[in-house]
């Protein structure tokens, strides 16, 4: 008898959990609208980046050749200075590591 009651309680518990989870689902129209908004936002960002790059290219093209050379050299120099510089391969293993949080 006790086994029968446990089975019934277990079944009722499973049914109640499934009903609760069904109530939390969004409707199809809402999901589609969200997806459409995300897609539009992504396209907007892509268009912005494309326009920005085009503008930068135009700014570079209208400069005289001497200025273009200076701009190129400064870009190369900043890349070289901003690059992560690693320690010598011999000293790296003995260096203290940062504590993880």
C-alpha–C-alpha distance, residues 70 and 30, integer Å: 53
Encode 55-77: b = buried (16+ Cβ within 10 Å), e = exposed. Answer: eeeeeeeeeeeeeeeeeeeeeee
pLDDT, tens digit (0-9, with 9 covering 90-100), for 42-98: 999 999 999 999 999 999 999 999 999 999 999 999 888 888 777 777 887 777 777
Tell me if 23 sits within 8 A of 16, measured CB to CB: no
Report the pLDDT value the prediction gives residue 55, as an integer from 0 to 100. 96
The residues spanned by each domain of the chain are 35-59
State yes or no: pLDDT of 9 exceeds 90: no
* pTM exceeds cut of 0.75: no
Helices (H) and strands (E) in the chain, counts: 3, 0
Higher pLDDT, 84 or 11: 11
pLDDT band at 15 (very low <50, low <70, confident <90, very high): confident
Higher pLDDT, 66 or 16: 66
């Amino acid at each position: 008898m006790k086994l029968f009651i446990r089975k019934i309680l277990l079944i009722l518990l499973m049914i109640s959990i499934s009903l609760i989870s069904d109530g939390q689902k969004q409707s199809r129209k809402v999901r589609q609208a969200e997806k459409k908004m995300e897609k539009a936002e992504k396209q907007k960002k892509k268009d912005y980046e494309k326009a920005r790059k085009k503008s930068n290219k135009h700014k570079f093209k209208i400069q005289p050749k001497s200025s273009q050379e200076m701009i190129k050299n400064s870009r190369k120099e900043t890349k070289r200075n901003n690059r992560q510089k690693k320690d010598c391969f011999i000293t790296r293993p003995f260096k203290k590591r940062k504590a993880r949080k």
